[in-house]
Every structure is written in C-alpha cells, then in structure tokens.
Structure 1
Amino acid sequence: MPNHLLEALPPEDRARLLARCERVPLAAAQVLYEPGDVIAHVHFPTTAFVSLVSTADGHDGLQAGMVGNEGALGYELSLNAQHAPLRTLVQGAGLAWRLSAQSFEQELAESAALRRVLHRYVCVLLAEFARSGLCHRFHQIEQRLARWLLTTQDCAHSAQLALTHEALGRMLGVRRVGITHAAMALHTRSLIDYRRGVITITDRQGLENAACDCYRANRRSYSDLIGQG
C-alpha cells in the first residue's frame, strides 16, 4: 500500500527518497516519540497508523490527530524543529518507510517538491488540530465517536477496528461510561457492531451522517492542499 505524500512527489524525487529509506515494522502500542524527544527519523506509514497524543501534567493525554498512509511522522524537521511536540503512539501495527533525520534534511535540500508537500501537510494538520479543540468543546460524544471511527477506518483500511476502551478514551477525552453510552447509541442505530474490543462499522454512510462536520472538513483540507501541483 503506498504512502500518499510520497505518491504526490514527482517520480524522480520519490525514487531518490525511497532509495534512502528502509521499510520497518511498527508494533501496536509502540511509542515512537515522547514530547521533547529529539526526532531521529521521519516515518511515512504505509499500513501502520499512529495516534498523535497531547499530554500535560502527567495525564494520559488526549488524541489530537491520527496519521496513516496519508501522512508522515517527524514532519517537524521540515520546519527546522528538532524536537517532537506530541507523543506518537502506534495505534495499528503495520509497516512504514523510515528515513534518518540527516537523510531527510538532504532530501529537503534537493527536492523543492518534497518541501512543498510537507509544508502543505503541516497546514492540513494545523487545521485538523484547531478543529479537534472545537470538536471536543462543542460536539456531542456520539458525533465525535463517529468521526474518530471513520478516521480510524480510513487509516486502518478495514471495517473491523481493534479499539480498547483506553484508546477510545484518548480519542474522545471522556470516561469509560461516556464511551459506552455513545457506542451503544451508534449500535442501536445499526451503524456499528461492538464485541470483545472489536468495533465493526456496518453502515459507513450512516456513520458519516452521524459524525460532526469536522470529519468532512478534514478530508476537504487534505484534498485541497495535497492534491495541488
């Protein structure tokens, strides 16, 4: 499965970058970076997907975003930032292309297309992070759960999602009882099935209708920016 940011590069630039990459497995629950860590590698996920978690004051944290094969981890290096601002926690095991920070900097110097794609991707993430704050403040838990399930399905490329209550808690920033009520509401509407820690999306269109507009707005942002030449 390709990484869409790499696919957006001209063939010559993409081939040169991939020649410097290695294909690595990412394990579920693996932490790539904690806030403040020096970024040693850039990852372009292909089949893995990773939660971006905001942490403060020793709390478990709140999921601010998710990165699958549409994005990259370590993108901060494209802005000359050397330290990770968020915890990067592997949510779904899989593969990624990995590039050392030094090689990435060389690629940035050689490829204007890579710089352009990464800068646009940062703009997409900034918009998503801004919407995430508003979403947690103003939208109902059921709407937010529908949004995150859709986002997770997009990253996992599967209707069956292995999601624990802890993971759902990070997504929604609510306690277990709130997650249970929201999941039951979606189940009652025959949008999802939930058994033994596995959520199955049974009505994708219905779930999109149940989600807040943040989901559609995020998809529009990505399409508008990353698809440009």
Structure 2
Amino acid sequence: MNLNFDTVQSSPVRPQPASNRLLASLPEDELQQIEALCEPIEAEVGDLLFEPGEPIHYIYFPIDALVSLLAVAEGRMTLEVGSVGREGMIGASVALGHGQAQVRAVVQRAGRMLRMGAEEFCSEFSRNEALQRLLHRYTDTLLAQAIQIAVCSRFHVLEARLARSLLITRDRLQSEKFHLTHEFLAHALGVRRVGVTKAASALQQQKLITYSRGNIEILDSAGLEAVSCRCYELVKDDGSLGISTVFV
C-alpha cells in the first residue's frame, strides 16, 4: 500500500456544514459551534491520518472522502475493521479517554474533510450534551461492527467477504463505481493479492461486477448481496440511529 505521510493540505473553500451527515444530526446551534472550530482540508489517496499507538491530534469529519480503518499486527499484517465516509467521524475516542490511536487510518478515496483539534473537540464534548449523547449511542454500534467483522474474517469465504467489502464501499460513497486496487483490497481483507484476484474474477464471471485496473463497477447489486455473507446486512446502515458511523 502506498501510504503518503505528508500532512493533508488546508483548503481555501469552506464546505457547507451539512455536508457531513453526523454533524448535520446535531442541533443547529451546536452544529455552528463545532463547525466554527473546524478547518476544511483536502485529503489525497494514501494520506495517513494516524497509526496505532500514535497520539490523536485531530478529529476528522469526511465530506466526500472515504477513510479506511485498518487493524495492524506485527507492524505489517492488516485487516480493515471499518470505513468512514460522510456519515461519520474519525478520532472521537479522545473524548472517551483514549488519547492514542488503536488503528491505522488511511484515506481510501480523495476528497474533502473538516478537521478539528483534539483538545477543542474534548472541550466541546465536556460541555455539549447533544454531542455526548450522539457519541455514546455509537459505542455499541462500533463494538457490534468490530465483532461482526472479526467473525466474518474467521469463518466466511473470501468471495463473500469481498462482496461485503464492495457493498459497504458502495454505501459509503453512494456510487456503484469506485476505484480500489488489488493491493488495497489485500490489505483490507488480510489476504494475499492472488486471493483477491481470484475472488474478483469469480464475481466478474457471474456478471456481478466489472473490475479493470482497480476500477470497479457493481452491475448487479441484488446479486452481489446474495453472494455476500449475512454480515453485510449486520454492518451496513441499520437505520436505528438515523445514520451509521464508525469512530476510533
């Protein structure tokens, strides 16, 4: 995976506050207060937001970027345990007493995000009851997703896991077309690239997707959902909280 350790660049254009669905779910006055403390940035594919064990200096609210959360073992083996798009946030665990990152957060799709200092976020969390309620409601969601992905990775065949991953990416991006390299998918699924190639070929032969040089298009969503394990139904937006998110 080509990880870019350069700092993401600030953007001169401030996005609309409602562009991040999680922020938009806050009361208007609280939304304005938090947005005033944020700066807009442009993130590129491969930008590394943080590594396991590193202090969390910023909180990120994606707008049209997508960030992959990877568990890391022995410094090199990885497994995707979540992805965050405009429905969520990254780094919120600092408000819950976890000042160090537990996963690798790497930009999967370039785009805009709002960035907020961790100290400012903690101060807002301590006084903002709406924000407290929002984050506490997602604690159980995060735990349930992490458990389900662990079960999926242990017991389900790679073809079904790949289908699940593609469907979740589609949901986060709200698009049937996106770019994911074999290398990235291998890191995300914790397998060798040859395994990804075989699984993607099987899905393509069933006319569920097209896959060429990392460019993926889902041709048959219903068919892909049928191939996917039931884990997709359990980790996608469940509607019970209005929006779905993962935070670390």
TM-score by length of 1: 0.93
- Cα deviation, 1:183-207, whole Å, max 9, x if unaligned, reads 1111111110011221111112221
One-letter identity of the residue aligned with 2:241: L
State the 1:220 CA deviation. 5.2
Conservation of the 8 A alpha-carbon contact between 2:49 and 2:106: yes
State the 1:123 CA deviation. 2.1
2:240 matches 1:224: yes
Conservation of the 8 A alpha-carbon contact between 1:48 and 1:90: yes
1:73 match: 90
Conservation of the 8 A alpha-carbon contact between 1:144 and 1:211: yes
1:197 match: 214
User: Is there any run of 5+ residues in structure 1 with no aligned partner, and where?
Assistant: none
2:131 match: 114
Q: How far apart, CA to CA, are the structure 1 residues paired with 2:110 and 2:20?
A: 15
Match of 2:145 among 100, 108, 128: 128
TM superposition outliers: structure 1 runs of 4+ over 3 Å: 225-228
1:89 match: 106
2:180 match: 163
Conservation of the 8 A alpha-carbon contact between 2:21 and 2:243: no
Match of 2:230 among 199, 202, 213: 213
Q: How far apart, CA to CA, are the structure 2 residues paired with 1:174 and 1:115?
A: 38
Report the number of matched residues: 227
More divergent stretch after superposition (168-177 vs 17-26): 168-177
Q: Where do residues 48-67 of structure 1 align in structure 2 (5 Å cutoff)? A: 48-67=65-84
Greater share of helix residues, 1 or 2? 1
2:186 matches 1:179: no
Conservation of the 8 A alpha-carbon contact between 1:52 and 1:65: yes
One-letter identity of the residue aligned with 2:169: T
Match of 1:33 among 35, 50, 59: 50
Q: How far apart, CA to CA, are the structure 2 residues paired with 1:93 and 1:37?
A: 23
- Provide the secondary structure at the position in 2 that maps to 1:58: coil
- Cα deviation, 1:159-179, whole Å, max 9, x if unaligned, reads 222111111102221112211
2:15 match: none
State the 1:50 CA deviation. 0.7
Conservation of the 8 A alpha-carbon contact between 1:41 and 1:99: yes
Conservation of the 8 A alpha-carbon contact between 1:75 and 1:122: no
Q: How far apart, CA to CA, are the structure 1 residues paired with 2:235 and 2:240?
A: 10
Match of 1:12 among 29, 41, 48: 29
Q: 1:40 to 1:213 in 2, by over 3 A?
A: same
One-letter identity of the residue aligned with 1:211: S
Q: 1:40 to 1:120 in 2, by over 3 A?
A: same
One-letter identity of the residue aligned with 2:240: D
Q: How far apart, CA to CA, are the structure 1 residues paired with 2:20 and 2:139?
A: 16
- Identity percentage over the alignment? 42
Q: How far apart, CA to CA, are the structure 2 residues paired with 1:58 and 1:36?
A: 11
TM-score by length of 2: 0.87
- Cα deviation, 1:88-125, whole Å, max 9, x if unaligned, reads 01111111111111211121122111111112223212
User: Is there any run of 5+ residues in structure 2 with no aligned partner, and where?
Assistant: 1-17
Conservation of the 8 A alpha-carbon contact between 2:95 and 2:125: yes
